[in-house]
């Protein structure tokens, strides 16, 4: 498994986790944090909201870094896998070159007169 494939899988996992964490949150203070309103629990409502916010920022930053690393490790093909368009561009005749035209009339044959 190549390094690019590994980074691609990590990017997909970070995307899925980020989607799930964002869906759990509620912009009005509800979401997962609102369901845990018991006073006897170790992590209170405020701690759950802080955790979700930190997890969101961590996953967003990791998604950015993983995307940059994945784009840096894209496997590049060698010169044998070039496209046909690149071959045509390389083999094209230079349009600014002056054609090599004859400058004088050909000399007449002695037999044709």
pLDDT tens digits in sequence order for the chain, 113 residues long:
689 999 999 999 999 999 999 888 876 655 555 555 554 445 555 677 788 889 999 999 999 999 999 999 988 765 555 678 888 888 887 777 767 776 777 677 777 65
pLDDT at 81: 59
Q: Locate tokens 């980020």: which residue?
A: 18
Q: Is 92 exposed, middle or buried (0-12, 13-18, 19+ CB in 10 A)?
A: exposed
pLDDT at 84: 81
pLDDT at 101: 72
pTM for this structure? 0.53
pLDDT at 28: 63
pLDDT at 60: 94
pLDDT at 104: 74
Inter-CA distances, 69 with 5, 39, 43, 107, Å:
11, 44, 35, 70
pLDDT at 40: 47
């Amino acid at each position: 498994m190549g390094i690019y494939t590994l980074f691609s899988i990590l990017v997909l996992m970070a995307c899925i986790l980020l989607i799930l964490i964002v869906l759990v949150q509620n912009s009005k203070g509800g979401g997962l944090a609102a369901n845990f309103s018991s006073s006897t629990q170790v992590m209170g409502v405020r701690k759950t909201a802080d955790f979700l916010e930190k997890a969101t920022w961590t996953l967003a930053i990791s998604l950015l870094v993983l995307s940059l690393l994945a784009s840096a490790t894209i496997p590049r093909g060698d010169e044998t896998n070039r496209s046909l368009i690149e071959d045509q561009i390389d083999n094209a005749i230079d349009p600014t070159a002056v054609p090599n035209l004859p400058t004088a009339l050909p000399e007449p044959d002695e037999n044709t007169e």
